[in-house]
């Protein structure tokens, strides 16, 4: 049994790294797409809507295959490493879902606080980052937790583009040892533990954000 752990640990570290970097990309894209969709500039709204609908309306696996197998072909001629494709594919996909979550969270910020900030002559940037965004982030934590767990589970698809993540290593060990019950059971437990770590981390972040919002409102 112990001989299985080095490769599974190696794959787990790859999965964690992909999940963390893709989550950062998804968060940035979600915020940009949400604010663009709420913009008064029509072109920005169109671009945001196109991005959201394409990546929410198509399969993550097909998106990864398209980035990995189609982009290197003419007329694109863009070759990306498996790691880059994994991060981009997962980040773009989850970011599209996160954009709607973030838009709802932004709209949930009480209008009265925004009007009060305007009355105090706060600059739009200061108003957004000082009042609106902290409250919106606190509102978005619950749905965002679910999306991060979906991102973690979706990362198993990167094994199909030759990236040696946890699922790839598990399949590799099964092919070599034929101990599928043990290996996939261990992989299942690892994914569960990682999901619970995300859940706990987001709960702690939610408490911290809520404390910050309460202090700011006093």
Q: Give residue-wise pLDDT tens across range 153-187.
A: 999 999 999 899 999 999 999 998 888 999 999 99
Q: Alpha carbon 107 to chain centroid distance?
A: 21
Comparison of pLDDT for 124 and 89, the residue scoring more: 89
Q: Average of pLDDT values for 70-91?
A: 95
**79 φ, ψ to 5°?**
-105, 125
Judged against a pLDDT cut of 50, whether residue 96 lies above it is answered with: yes
- CA distances 202 to 21, 139, 148, Å, are 16, 12, 9
* Tokens found for residue 174: 């099964």
Q: Which residue has the tokens 């299985």?
A: 4
Whether residue 206 contacts residue 138, with contact meaning beta carbons closer than 8 Å, is answered with yes
Greater model confidence, 112 or 63: 63
Task: State the Cα–Cα distance between residues 203 and 77, nearest whole angstrom.
Answer: 43
Tokens of 190: 């690892």
Cis peptide before 75 (omega within 30 of 0): yes
Nearest CA to 26 among 145, 107, 139? Answer: 145
pLDDT of residue 213: 61
Q: How far is CA 106 from the centre of its chain?
A: 18
Quick one: pLDDT at residue 114? 75
Q: What is the pLDDT of residue 169?
A: 94
Mean pLDDT is lowest, of 29-38, 117-126, 132-141, for: 117-126
Mean pLDDT of all residues belonging to the chain = 91
> What pLDDT was estimated at residue 214?
58
Span 48-66, mean pLDDT?
96
- Which of residues 161 and 110 earns the better pLDDT score? 161
Confirm whether pTM is higher than 0.75. Answer: yes
Q: What is the mean pLDDT of residues 111-137?
A: 81
Sequence-distant (6+) residues with CB within 8 A of 169 are: 7, 8, 10, 11
Distance CA 197, CA 110 (A): 32
Query: pLDDT band for position 218 (50/70/90)?
Result: very low
In terms of C-beta density within 10 A (0-12 exposed, 13-18 middle, 19 or more buried), how is residue 104 classed? middle
For 146, phi then psi, to 5°, come to -60, -40
Per-residue confidence (pLDDT) for residue 79, from 0 to 100: 93
- What was the pLDDT predicted at 215? 55
Q: What is the pLDDT of residue 166?
A: 95
Q: With pLDDT > 70 as the criterion, what percentage of the chain qualifies? A: 95
pLDDT at 113 over 80: no
């Amino acid at each position: 049994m112990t001989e299985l752990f080095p490769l599974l640990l190696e794959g787990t570290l790859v999965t964690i790294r992909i999940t963390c970097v893709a989550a950062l990309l998804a968060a940035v894209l979600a915020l940009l797409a949400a604010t663009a969709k709420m913009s008064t500039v029509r072109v920005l709204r169109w671009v945001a809507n196109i991005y959201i609908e394409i990546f929410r309306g198509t399969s993550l696996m097909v998106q990864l295959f398209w980035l990995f197998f189609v982009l290197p072909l003419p007329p694109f001629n863009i070759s990306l490493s498996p790691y880059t494709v994994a991060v981009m594919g997962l980040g773009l996909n989850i970011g599209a879902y996160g954009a709607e979550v973030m838009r709802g969270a932004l709209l949930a910020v009480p209008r009265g606080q925004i009007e009060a900030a305007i009355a105090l002559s706060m600059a739009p940037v200061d108003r957004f980052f000082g009042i609106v965004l902290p409250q919106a982030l606190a509102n978005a934590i619950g749905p965002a937790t679910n999306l991060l767990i979906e991102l973690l589970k979706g990362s198993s698809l990167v094994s199909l583009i030759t990236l040696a993540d946890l699922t790839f290593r598990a399949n590799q060990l099964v092919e070599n040892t034929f101990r599928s019950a043990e290996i996939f059971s261990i992989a299942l437990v690892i994914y569960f533990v990682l999901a619970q770590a995300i859940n706990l981390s987001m709960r702690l972040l939610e408490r911290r954000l809520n404390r910050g919002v309460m202090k700011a409102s006093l």
